[in-house]
Structure 1
Amino acid sequence: MITRRSMTAGLALAALGAGAKVPAQAQAPLTIRISTAAPPSDFLAKALEQLKSEVAAASLGINVAVHTASTLFKQGTEVPALQRGNLEMSTMTTFEVAQQIPEVGFLNRAYLFKDYAQLRRVFDGPEGEAYRKIVADKMGIEIVATHYLGTRQVSLRTRRAVKGPADLAGVKLRMPAGPEWLLLGRTLGVSPLPLGMPEVYLALKTGTVDGQENPLSIFNAAKLYEVSEQVVMTSHMVQPVFFAVAKPVWARMSKAQQDGFQAAARKAAKAGDEGRLADEAGIIDALQGRGLSVDKIDLGPFREAADKAYAGADITKAWDMAWLKRVAGA
């Protein structure tokens, strides 16, 4: 006998068989693992934790897991992992983008951005939109937010007088791996040595490297002041970092999920920016209080050295120079 209950069940099954979509709430939550080299106490890691909280509060049907200090993937391996489908999200740099899209490598140039305000004008405007599109089209990665990683400065394990790049000749300076990072190091006059961020503290302590370069907030968060005596305010890069999602993962989200996730990412990135800017404003006094020398110098010799180094470098031949001029003039 056909009962009302069996008829209802049959109609429901028929609807599903006809291709009716299960409501998002009934689907298994999408899990997004984020891999970053940032130490847990850095503002980038804090911004990612805020993203996790914002997404949870918005009930988007997305679970976020944050893996800091390269504990999930080693620094430099995250982008290939995104593209192979082994990772959902990472914090990607302009250097990693340039390895696959050489024409936008100009964003790795020393002394490109004057300050944070210019960085935001670029990445919040049409140039940033064009950059996100080319990354999505050519790399299969969606940039959902841009975060201020900080202004990079040189630190040394032992003090020395520094007035220009010539004074850093022979200094083994830790740099992230990659040809454009190493070129950046050479503009500073140093001997660049590629090394992952989690290895830097021990390398400074043992003398494997003579120094490193990072934003002061990261220098502070990683406690590198314990194995350094001096900071030289070279201010050679005002650096962005991107909240980057694998395109197939992004495509699995509904439009509502995409909008909610991006809003959460941008809110978290902005909070991270504000925290880092406030930290940078007071960190010099804090480092001097720990006994470090913090030297503000004339940047003219460093800017001139950078101009010469980039003018003669083969790697810059692929750069979109018209795009560089638009960004530099923003």
Structure 2
Amino acid sequence: MKHISKATLTGRIGRGALGAALLLALPVTAASADPVKLRFSTPAPPGEILTQSMEIFGDILQATAPDAFEVSVHPGGTLFKQGTEIPAMQRGNLEMNTLQTFEVAQFVPELSVFNAGYLFDDYDHLKAVWGSEIGEDYRAKVEEDMGVHILADCYLGTREVALNQVRNVKTPEDMQGIKLRMPGAPDFLLLGKGLGVDPTPMAMSEVYLGMKAGTVDGQDNPVTITRAAKLDEVTKEVVLTDHMVQNVFYAIATPVYEELSADLQGKLTAAAVAACAWNDTMRLADEDKQIAYFKEQGIVVSEPDLDAFRAHMAKVYEDEGRSDDWSEDLIEKIKAAND
């Protein structure tokens, strides 16, 4: 990656990168050895806000630690498919990925509570939890049990349902019989059941054709991702279920992180935090923009009975015995973080 000046970088990230000015004030560290190769894998589509933030992450590192790192971004699951990144990191075949709580739960089941539908009320609540002792304990457990170091957390968005036919959804009963594409993680599939649909595992790369052909009736994603993946082209109705306010982590294999000097670890973390701040600002602004765009395109945007969806979600977790696995004390702490 070529050298990028601080002036050029500031122009690229603009006002959206909260804290970027502080980061750029850090002293520059010249590299004295071969650059550390960081291949950054994500299922996010090319050009999507998260993918752009990863490019900015690389630019910031090049500005603050010239030639110390060689960052390459691999969107759309082109390097490793979603669900295979963690084993690849643990084998030493991948350095970085955008880690989701659903993936963590498959390795650390006790942390599955963070996958519960309607756990977080909004963006501020989400950030309060991850910036608290709860987040610190989570990151420590991930590192201890998975060998993965979390650098920063980014707002992925609030998940909504997009359907290929108009159904005028108001309650979970209106979702019965709908084959909704979900990622294959068990907690994702249970989340879908909580919405009242028939959850259908499918790779993100197959969803467009799946919705077009009717193999699935819809999918759930934050609206920014729905638009970036061009899924709006096969969508007739967006249901604002708000069922998950979701984040995603910038994560690096612990052995790779531990091989860095303390100075470069600091530069790496600071770059990740600044890139996620840019992501969050851009995504929050984009969510309202995309809803307006969908309406302009003639897509029906439904505002369902969220209390009915919350109650149905809670009943499914209870009936499936999933909530029995969750710490009531931890749930209370998560709720209290929004007080």
Would you call these one fold, judging by a TM-score over 0.5?
yes
CA distance in 2 between counterparts of 1:246 and 1:263 reads 17
Q: Which residue matches 1:276?
A: 283
CA distance in 2 between counterparts of 1:85 and 1:317 reads 35
Q: Does 1:41 align with 2:47?
A: yes
Contact kept? 2:31, 2:65, Cα under 8 Å? no
Q: CA RMSD, aligned part only?
A: 1.2
Q: Which residue matches 2:193?
A: 186
TM-score of the superposed pair, with normalisation by structure 1:
0.91
Q: Which residue matches 2:269?
A: 262
Q: Please list every run of 5 or more consecutive structure 1 residues that lacks an aligned counterpart in the other structure.
A: 1-22
Name the SS for the 2:258 alignment partner: helix
230 and 244 in structure 1: CA distance in 2 versus 1, 3 angstrom threshold: same
> How many percent of aligned residue pairs carry the same amino acid?
46
Q: In the TM superposition, what whole-angstrom CA distance separates every residue of 1:84-127 from its partner, at most 9, and x where no partner exists?
A: 11100000100000111111101000000000000000111111
Contact kept? 1:35, 1:68, Cα under 8 Å? yes
Q: Does 1:58 align with 2:64?
A: yes
Q: In the TM superposition, what whole-angstrom CA distance separates every residue of 1:121-146 from its partner, at most 9, and x where no partner exists?
A: 01111111111111011111000010
Q: Which residue matches 2:184?
A: 177
Q: CA deviation at 1:319?
A: 2.5
Residue number among 327, 332, 338 corresponding to 1:325 in the alignment = 332
Paired AA for residue 85 in structure 1: G
Q: How does 1:185-264 map to 2 (within 5 A)?
A: 185-264=192-271
Name the SS for the 1:72 alignment partner: coil
Q: Which residue matches 1:71?
A: 78
Paired AA for residue 183 in structure 1: L
Q: Does 1:28 align with 2:28?
A: no
Residue number among 121, 127, 139 corresponding to 1:114 in the alignment = 121
Q: How many pairs are equivalent?
A: 308
Paired AA for residue 132 in structure 1: R
CA distance in 1 between counterparts of 2:270 and 2:80 reads 26
CA distance in 2 between counterparts of 1:154 and 1:237 reads 11
Q: CA deviation at 1:82?
A: 0.9
Q: CA deviation at 1:281?
A: 2.0
Contact kept? 1:102, 1:319, Cα under 8 Å? no
Q: Which residue matches 2:166?
A: 159
Q: Which residue matches 2:148?
A: 141
TM-score of the superposed pair, with normalisation by structure 2:
0.89
Paired AA for residue 283 in structure 2: R
Q: Which residue matches 2:312?
A: 305
Q: In the TM superposition, what whole-angstrom CA distance separates every residue of 1:233-272 from its partner, at most 9, and x where no partner exists?
A: 0000000100010000001111000000100000000100
Name the SS for the 1:302 alignment partner: helix
Q: CA deviation at 1:24?
A: 7.6
Contact kept? 1:107, 1:324, Cα under 8 Å? no
CA distance in 1 between counterparts of 2:256 and 2:63 reads 20
Contact kept? 2:156, 2:246, Cα under 8 Å? yes
Q: Which has the larger radius of gyration?
A: 1
Name the SS for the 1:186 alignment partner: helix
CA distance in 2 between counterparts of 1:227 and 1:160 reads 14
Name the SS for the 1:173 alignment partner: strand
Name the SS for the 2:169 alignment partner: coil
CA distance in 1 between counterparts of 2:298 and 2:76 reads 27
CA distance in 2 between counterparts of 1:158 and 1:236 reads 20
Q: CA deviation at 1:296?
A: 1.3
Q: CA deviation at 1:79?
A: 0.9
Q: In the TM superposition, what whole-angstrom CA distance separates every residue of 1:132-183 from its partner, at most 9, and x where no partner exists?
A: 1110111110000100000000010010121111111110000000111110
Q: In the TM superposition, what whole-angstrom CA distance separates every residue of 1:280-320 from its partner, at most 9, and x where no partner exists?
A: 12221111111101111220110000111112223443323
Q: CA deviation at 1:26?
A: 2.6
Paired AA for residue 119 in structure 1: L
CA distance in 1 between counterparts of 2:323 and 2:93 reads 32
Paired AA for residue 96 in structure 1: E
